Chain A
Amino acid sequence: MRITQGTFSFLPDLSDQQIRRQISYAVERGWAISVEHTDDPHPRNVYWEMWGHPLFDLRDVGEAMRQVQTCRAAHGSHYVKVNAFDSTRGWETVRLSFLVQRPPVEPGFDLSRDEGEGRQVRYALRTRTR
């Protein structure tokens, strides 16, 4: 399966040139770029592994691209995403977040159902292990 997390996951995978343009957009707005990776794309897995610190005060988009490349190289079988963080008061959150790598095979999820009273079902979503 193809997970559809991130801002652009319904489009064909972004080329490096497209990734660079999105990073430029974020940097122009003063947002901090960070790269994260994981082998567990469970939708409730909020804390992917950080690939170094967020790049605050970044001017050189090339530096962010290097972080993307090194993370991909080190974790070829992981999901990798780029986040852009806005520290403006009232936001102080991620403003853009998109995948820049998928593993060669995306294992997807299992959904389990435990039946309870009153036709209620307790659902559990589990990331499949390869």
Chain B
Amino acid sequence: MATAKNGNPSVVPLPTADRYRSGVIPYKAMGYWQPDYLPPETDVLAVFRITPQEGVDPEEAAAAVAGESSTATWTVVWTDRLTACDAYRAKAYRLDPVPGTGPGSSMPQQYFAYIAYDLALFEEGSIANLTASIIGNVFGFKPLRALRLEDMRIPVAYVKTFQGPPTGIVVERERLDKFGRPLLGATVKPKLGLSGKNYGRVVYEGLRGGLDFMKDDENINSQPFMHWRDRFLFATEAVNRAQAATGEIKGHYLNVTAATMEDIYERAELAKELGSCIVMIDLVIGYTAIQSMAKWARKHDMILHLHRAGHSTYTRQKNHGVAFRVISKWMRLAGVDHIHAGTVVGKLEGDPLVTAGVYDTLREPATKQDLRHGLFFDQDWAGLRKVMPVASGGIHAGQMHQLLTYLGEDVVLQFGGGTIGHPKGVQAGATANRVALEAMVLARNEGRDIWNEGPRILADAAETCSPLRDALEVWKDVAFDYASTDTVDFVATPSAA
């Protein structure tokens, strides 16, 4: 325990008569700060990064977060006495200063506040209910300058109330008959403006050239230049033609995102009738709609792809919002099969350590506390199926050794520009990616050091594959080397949990 109990001892705990006298008393005194509390394994745990306003006692700030995310309001209410309020109250039980903040740094002092919630506070199987508590009101709370939900521990008892991914990594691979390598995809570009017929052409070329999946972009729904039915019909022709030409199962993520749930279901039903193996939704449709589609997908043997549209508005800045690893946990519970989760090397935010923590959260049966990777708690998924992460945004064949090293093989590598921007065309771009991938997996399995030998391995593979040769030449100098915004703050030897 890194914190001393250095708050004013006179405020905790108050005798019952004083605690419930009308008026305003500190959250600490209301019972929301309990440094001796030992959370049972059925509690939901959360760790917040809090930045108290100038002069606010950090323990009081942590207690306020516990209070405002559970039972408290700003004043004492006698009606607490009609409930088992001691149990329903969330408890802030630990407070650690964040390394590299406060005096001597350029940042205001921040703290990691650990808060425990009784399981009875939450409705079974409802992300909406869970989040309405944990992030419902508290992020606008005035005594805090900023607040970020860093991580959560979902107890097994609660995990078991969620359906989880409708398909999961294992079953997806068995359905597609694709094993031992990352899957390959590409997003149709330009993302806006193509007619249905021209759009389907790109889908066909990509799949025919060697990709497993093509993908609608997050903002392709049903616009004047291409209504959704037209897109679905032409994409289906493309998928079937490509399957006949290759003998492989192929897919196109048909984005069924729409204005209302009724519209979403209508689009998903057509995708099903057309025999599509996969549909897609955007994160912006909301947690309840996502869970509805998870149930629909399980019922209809459909792989469910989630694009994390909008997430960077609240995941990227380190001092305020919700860390993406938490969104990942919620989405594994809610039940999606694919989720965009970062590339490390591409054009979008993604620190290697943070990304590793997210990938483990999505794919592992259980994860251990690992502060280096931003994982604050042990998490047991109790057999819940695994989510396939999707790496998308500014990646190309020349990075294959880095991608395989960072991301492993249970991932969809999604090359949009890196396929469609190929100088010899979409098919050539797809072939370049597939050959680069297979050559790298073959070499890795043979025990070669792909991190160092990667460029050599690619060059060798390009000897018999001119599309790969062209790709390596065009994109040889492309790298996105910028400092990450969302990185982990940890001390090498953390205090005991």
With contacts A43-B243, A111-B241, A121-B237 taken as known, whether A10 is within 8 angstroms of B446 at the C-beta atoms is: no
Compute how far the CA of A41 lies from the CA of B249 in the bound complex, rounded to whole angstroms. Answer: 12
Contact B170 A4 (CB under 8 A): no
Contact A43 B247 (CB under 8 A): yes
Contact B179 A123 (CB under 8 A): no
B233 within 8 A of A: yes
Return chain B residues, CB-CB under 8 Å to A18: 442, 446
- Nearest-neighbour CB distance to chain A for B237, whole angstroms, equals 7
Compute how far the CA of A84 lies from the CA of B435 in the bound complex, rounded to whole angstroms. Answer: 21
B245 within 8 A of A: yes
A105 within 8 A of B: no
Return chain B residues, CB-CB under 8 Å to A83: 179
Can you pick out 15 interface pairs between chain A and chain B where the beta carbons lie within 8 Å of each other?
A4-B246, A7-B179, A8-B442, A21-B446, A25-B445, A42-B247, A43-B177, A43-B247, A84-B180, A95-B179, A95-B180, A97-B179, A97-B180, A109-B244, A111-B241
With contacts A96-B179, A123-B275 taken as known, whether A111 is within 8 angstroms of B248 at the C-beta atoms is: no
Partner of B445, one of A1, A22, A94: A22
B441 within 8 A of A: yes
Contact B180 A43 (CB under 8 A): no
Compute how far the CA of A91 lies from the CA of B169 in the bound complex, rounded to whole angstroms. Answer: 9
Return chain B residues, CB-CB under 8 Å to A25: 445-447
Return chain A residues, CB-CB under 8 Å to B237: 121
Return chain A residues, CB-CB under 8 Å to B249: 43-44
Return chain B residues, CB-CB under 8 Å to A90: 170, 365, 383, 386
Contact A125 B243 (CB under 8 A): yes
Contact A108 B247 (CB under 8 A): yes
Compute how far the CA of A73 lies from the CA of B177 in the bound complex, rounded to whole angstroms. Answer: 26
User: For residue A96, which residue of chain B has the nearest CB?
Assistant: B180
- Nearest-neighbour CB distance to chain A for B399, whole angstroms, equals 18
- Nearest-neighbour CB distance to chain A for B441, whole angstroms, equals 7
B274 within 8 A of A: yes
Contact A120 B174 (CB under 8 A): no
User: For residue A26, which residue of chain B has the nearest CB?
Assistant: B445
Chain A residues with CB under 8 Å of chain B are 1, 3-5, 7-12, 18, 21-22, 25, 41-44, 46, 83-84, 89-98, 108-111, 118-121, 123, 125
- Nearest-neighbour CB distance to chain B for A61, whole angstroms, equals 13
B173 within 8 A of A: yes
The 8 A CB mask of B342-375 against A (1 = contact, 0 = none) is: 0000000000000000000000010000000000
Return chain A residues, CB-CB under 8 Å to B469: none
Interface residue SS majority, chain B: helix
Partner of B244, one of A93, A96, A111: A111
Contact B240 A125 (CB under 8 A): yes
Contact B177 A5 (CB under 8 A): yes
Partner of A7, one of B181, B241, B247: B181
Return chain A residues, CB-CB under 8 Å to B422: none
Contact B170 A10 (CB under 8 A): no
B36 within 8 A of A: no
Contact B248 A5 (CB under 8 A): yes
Compute how far the CA of A48 lies from the CA of B365 in the bound complex, rounded to whole angstroms. Answer: 30
Contact A98 B180 (CB under 8 A): yes
Instruction: Identify 7 new A-B residue pairs, CB closer than 8 A, beyond the known A7-B181, A8-B442, A94-B174.
Output: A11-B442, A22-B445, A93-B174, A96-B180, A98-B180, A120-B274, A123-B240
- Nearest-neighbour CB distance to chain B for A31, whole angstroms, equals 10
Return chain B residues, CB-CB under 8 Å to A21: 445-447
B186 within 8 A of A: no
Contact A5 B180 (CB under 8 A): no
Return chain A residues, CB-CB under 8 Å to B441: 7-8
B280 within 8 A of A: no
B431 within 8 A of A: yes
Contact A4 B445 (CB under 8 A): no
Return chain B residues, CB-CB under 8 Å to A97: 177, 179-180
Contact B435 A11 (CB under 8 A): yes
User: For residue A22, which residue of chain B has the nearest CB?
Assistant: B445
With contacts A4-B210, A108-B247, A109-B244 taken as known, whether A12 is within 8 angstroms of B464 at the C-beta atoms is: yes
Compute how far the CA of A121 lies from the CA of B442 in the bound complex, rounded to whole angstroms. Answer: 39
Return chain B residues, CB-CB under 8 Å to A108: 244, 247
Return chain B residues, CB-CB under 8 Å to A44: 249
With contacts A22-B442, A95-B179, A98-B180 taken as known, whether A119 is within 8 angstroms of B210 at the C-beta atoms is: no
User: For residue A109, which residue of chain B has the nearest CB?
Assistant: B244
The 8 A CB mask of B162-206 against A (1 = contact, 0 = none) is: 000000001001100101110000000000000000000000000
Return chain A residues, CB-CB under 8 Å to B386: 90
User: For residue A18, which residue of chain B has the nearest CB?
Assistant: B442
- Nearest-neighbour CB distance to chain B for A85, whole angstroms, equals 10
B284 within 8 A of A: no
B273 within 8 A of A: yes
B333 within 8 A of A: no
Return chain A residues, CB-CB under 8 Å to B320: none
User: For residue B468, which residue of chain A has the nearest CB?
Assistant: A10
B434 within 8 A of A: yes
- Nearest-neighbour CB distance to chain A for B236, whole angstroms, equals 7
